[in-house]
Structures are given as structure tokens and as C-alpha cells.
Amino acid sequence: MLDSVKGFGLTFATMFRRVATEQYPYDVKPTAPRYHGRHVLNRHPDGLEKCVGCELCAWACPADAIYVEGGDNTEDRRFSPGERYGAVYQINYARCIFCGLCIEACPTRSLTMSNEYELASDSRQDLIFTKTELLAPLLPGMEAPPHPMRLGDTEDYYVGAMRNPGASAGAETPQTSDDAESNLPHSGLQDPAVTGGRQVQPTGEPGAAERTP
Ligand code: SF4
Ligand code: SF4
């Protein structure tokens, strides 16, 4: 008898506690700013790809989730500055554990991670993302490769590459006062047409506003 009264007491007390249920997917909460979500292959400000097909990300991956095949650029058919580009690029999200080691290994800051986490699928094939899905969208002023280097010689592309030029899709550094205030990077990934209305924020190297003194 005493136990059942205790049980009802617990039920009664719980009725007045704050509800913890989240109404996902109708109410999608933003993630932590540096949440490791879907990868992004970034571009230079003229639209050329930052990936040089070096495969360092694939070698760094503990889950063997990345497959890269490099290709040779020619003056007539150029996808990235320099000699090589990522001709084939795949990430298998059935294997990926979102550890971020691949983005640490990338020497050109081509590969970063967004906050997007809605990746579930009932098809293993659909969980293999190719360059088509991973490449950052073209921002205004960018031109779809192949095309010649519009910014000058090769060195111009990689000056400050670890901090990403601001026009690059997926860049971490806030570029406008609005971006700086909201701590959001200037990126096509914030375009609702691209994200389906979700906030998608690249992670990895922290932007200036994210750094603590
Ligand atoms: S986040 Fe980790 S597991 Fe996923 S592709 Fe990168 S290195 Fe591999
Ligand atoms: S994403 Fe980076 S590490 Fe991976 S192949 Fe391209 S340039 Fe190399």
C-alpha cells in the first residue's frame, strides 16, 4: 500500500517538471558550433576546387571511409590550381565515425565538416557520398571548373590557405560584420536553398570569433 502511494507520488511530482521531449523533426535544434557533421569539399574564390587529390585524408581515416583518385590538371582542363585534383572522391557514411581526423590531415583546407547530421538512409549505396554531393556550392562570382586560374599564379591561392579566403564556400572565418556578430561563416552552406532551412556551419579550424584568448 505504502509502495503504491510512493509510486503515485513520483508520477504526481513528475507532472510539474519541465518537459524534456524534443519535437524532432518538426523542431530541429541547432547543434554545438563545432559539431562534426557531413563533410564539405571547399572551393577557392574563383570556383576552382581546393582538393589536390593527395589522399592524405584517406590515409588518415581510421575507418577506411574515404576513397580518392587523383587526376592531372592540364591548361585546357583545370579543376584546381597546381598539378593534381581529386578526380574521384567518395566518403562512405556507413563507415564514417565523424572523428575529424581527415580534416586535420588535409593540407589545403579543402575538407571541412558541416553541422549537418540528417544522413540516415535505408540504402548503403546512398550512404556513399560522391564529389557531386560533397563539393561546396558555387557562390556568386565563382565559376564552375574546369577553367583557368583566375586569381594569378599558384602561390596566390595558398597564401593564408589555413585560414581560408573569405569568398570560399565552407570558409570558417566570418567575413562581414553581420557574420562576425552572428559567428556564422560567410558560406553558401547558410543558403536555405542548399540546407533546406537548417543551419549548416562548417567546423574544424575555429573562426576568429570562436577563438578564445
Ligand atoms: S571523420 Fe573520421 S571516420 Fe569519418 S571520414 Fe573522416 S577520418 Fe574517416
Ligand atoms: S581532401 Fe585534402 S587531404 Fe583529401 S585528397 Fe583532397 S587535398 Fe588531399
Q: How big is the chain by its Cα radius of gyration, in Å?
A: 21
Going from the Cα of 102 to the center of ligand 1, the distance in angstroms, rounded, reads 5
CA 92 vs. chain centroid, Å, equals 15
Q: Which residue has the higher pLDDT, 152 or 73?
A: 73
**CA-to-CA distance for 39 and 115, rounded, in angstroms?**
9
Q: What are phi and psi of 112, to 5 degrees?
A: -135, 175
Answer yes or no: is pLDDT of 65 > 70.
yes
Mean pLDDT in residue range 15-35? 90
Which atom of ligand 1 lies nearest, measured to the CA of 64? 8
Protein residue whose Cα sits closest to atom 3 of ligand 2? 106
Calculate how far, in angstroms, residue 32's C-alpha sits from the geometric centre of ligand 2: 25
Whether the Cβ atoms of residue 177 and residue 81 lie closer than 8 Å to each other: no
DSSP designation for 165: -
Q: Is the sign of the CA dihedral 193, 197, 199, 204 positive or negative? A: negative
Looking only at the bridges linking them, the beta strands covering 39-41 and 128-130 are: unpaired
pLDDT at residue 50, rounded to an integer: 92
Determine the atom of ligand 2 nearest the C-alpha atom of 68: 5
Q: For position 194, what pLDDT does the model report?
A: 37
Least distant ligand from the CA of 50: 2
For the chain, domains (ranges, CATH) are: 36-207 (3.30.70.3270)
